[in-house]
Amino acid sequence: MIFPGWLYPVLIWTIIWKAIGCWRAARKGHLIWFVLFFIVNTVGILPIVYILFFENFNYSNKKAVRKKVKKSKKIPSLS
């Protein structure tokens, strides 16, 4: 199958930004963003937006979960 010449740079651009976006989303544990990069093909725009604006957001409530776990591990006294 022969593609037009302008399509090859677009494909390379898309693959590079998708790979970078997926890598960063996976490292930060942002599963929703990771899945969106595979489902939605935006010629690299969605990964760029994620990297520039949303990468540093905390999408989980890990601190609250840790506090609850620490409180629930108290051993009741026998006296």
Per-residue pLDDT of the chain (79 residues; tens, 9 = 90+): 787 888 889 889 989 999 999 999 999 898 998 888 888 878 888 888 888 888 887 766 555 445 555 555 566 666 5
Asked, for residue 51, whether it belongs to a domain, the answer is yes
- Asked whether 13 and 43 are in contact (CB, 8 A), the reply is yes
Asked, for residue 19, whether it belongs to a domain, the answer is yes
CA distances from 62 to 13, 27, 29, 30, 66 (A): 35, 15, 11, 13, 6
User: How close are the terminal C-alpha atoms of the chain, in Å?
Assistant: 80
Asked, for residue 69, whether it belongs to a domain, the answer is no
What was the pLDDT predicted at 43? 82
Asked, for residue 62, whether it belongs to a domain, the answer is no
pTM: 0.61
Asked, for residue 39, whether it belongs to a domain, the answer is yes
Domain range for 23: 13-56
Say how far apart CA 25 and CA 22 lie, in whole Å: 5
Asked, for residue 8, whether it belongs to a domain, the answer is no
What was the pLDDT predicted at 65? 46
**What is the tally of structural domains in the chain?**
1
What was the pLDDT predicted at 64? 47
Say how far apart CA 62 and CA 68 lie, in whole Å: 10
